[in-house]
A and B are shown apart, each in its own frame.
Chain A
Amino acid sequence: MSDSHGHDSLPGLAHQFDSYEQQRESASLGMWAFIVQEVMFFGGLFVTYLVYRREYAAAFAAGSHHLDVKLGAFNTAVLIASSLTMALAVRAAQLGKKKPLIGFLVGTILLGSVFLGVKTVEYSHKWHEHHVPGPHFAFESTGVHGEPIDPHNAQIFFSLYFAMTGLHALHMIVGIAILLWLIFHAARGRFTPDNYNYVEGTGLYWHFVDIIWIFLFPLLYLIGRH
């Protein structure tokens, strides 16, 4: 299995790479390209949001008033805190500190779970209020200025709300699964200052998910509040 121009003994260095540096730069570029892909993926939703917010401004404001600003703001804070723990986890990996690494990863998972828990509460409220798009959807409220609202237009708002926050939550669930995997390998001492690409890549992914929420929160929760 030995080839004349390969490296045979460097732990954690894949055969196609010549050095850790090449491997790390490849992983970083790959992750960034993946994030750009994610940006365009959410971009399709954001452009849909822009078109309909422009078209049905009153219905969007009315729909937004049915979201809980307090919960939304609390979740924003939780997610930002989880980004902090994630950043500190990457830092621990850079420095090769195993215990803090595991600690911060666990912290990130806990904060992420709190976020998802709050999201579940919000979703169940929406379910009880018949604000989930589909055959049971109902919207009787008037607009912010007392104008009647076509339920169909409000349904578009809630469709986008569920599509955007739902896909965001799905990304968090995937992220938490990856974090669990990282903890498993971190416990076995697999990550070294030479080779912590998986931790760094997961960090980039987690921060990206945070950024999506940074935009979703004002766009969905804070329309026409004044």
Chain B
Amino acid sequence: MSAHVSPVRTYVVIFLALMAGTALTVWAAFQDLGALNNVVMLTIAVVKATLVVMYFMHVRHSSRLTTMTILAGIFFLLILFSLTLADYATRDWLTVAGH
């Protein structure tokens, strides 16, 4: 009833953008960008995922509660990543006697 109905055009545009993103990420992977390769790759993936969430999953037209739910998921996922890696990244800082 009150749910938002997006025009077909929106879906097609997003679809084409996602296809372009896929092509771009493959192309970028074969360029030597040094450490930037991973950054580019993940940035494209995040952008693609955001497009899917916003338009295919209608979050753009959803309630604030939906947004909060998604952000909560992402927040706790990042906690899992960052605090676990905090251990691995700092393990060899203090291992040698007398140093």
Contact = CB atoms under 8 A, between A and B. Distances in A.
Contacts of A54: 85, 88
Contacts, number: 124
B31 interface: yes
A87 B56 contact: yes
A214 B56 contact: no
A215 B6 contact: no
A218 B41 contact: yes
Q: Interface residues of B toward A: which range? A: 35 or more
B15 A81 contact: yes
Interface string A34-48: 011001100110110
Contact of B15 (A21, A40, A84, A217): A84
Interface in A32-90: 32-33, 35-36, 39-40, 43-44, 46-47, 50-51, 54-55, 69, 73, 76-77, 80-81, 83-84, 86-88
A25 B1 CA distance: 12
Contact of B30 (A21, A40, A211, A226): A226
A94 B3 contact: yes
B26 A73 contact: yes
Interface in A173-226: 193-194, 203-204, 207-208, 210-211, 214-215, 217-219, 222, 224-226
Interface in B11-68: 11-12, 14-15, 18-19, 22, 25-26, 29-33, 37, 41-42, 44-45, 48-49, 52-53, 55-57, 62-63, 65-66
A110 interface: no
Contacts of A80: 15, 18-19, 22
B1 A20 contact: yes
A33 B80 contact: no
A215 B72 contact: no
B40 to A, nearest CB: 9
Q: Taking chain B's interface residues, is the majority helix, strand, or loop, or is none over half, making it mixed?
A: helix
Interface core residue of B22, B31, B65, B74 (most chain A CB under 10 Å): B22
Nearest to B89: A54
A208 B77 CA distance: 15
28 contacts: A20-B1, A28-B66, A29-B66, A36-B72, A36-B73, A40-B76, A43-B81, A47-B84, A51-B84, A55-B88, A69-B29, A73-B22, A73-B26, A77-B22, A91-B6, A91-B8, A94-B5, A194-B1, A203-B56, A207-B52, A207-B56, A207-B57, A210-B52, A215-B49, A218-B41, A218-B42, A224-B37, A225-B29
Interface of B: 1-3, 5-6, 8, 11-12, 14-15, 18-19, 22, 25-26, 29-33, 37, 41-42, 44-45, 48-49, 52-53, 55-57, 62-63, 65-66, 69-70, 72-74, 76-77, 80-81, 84-85, 88
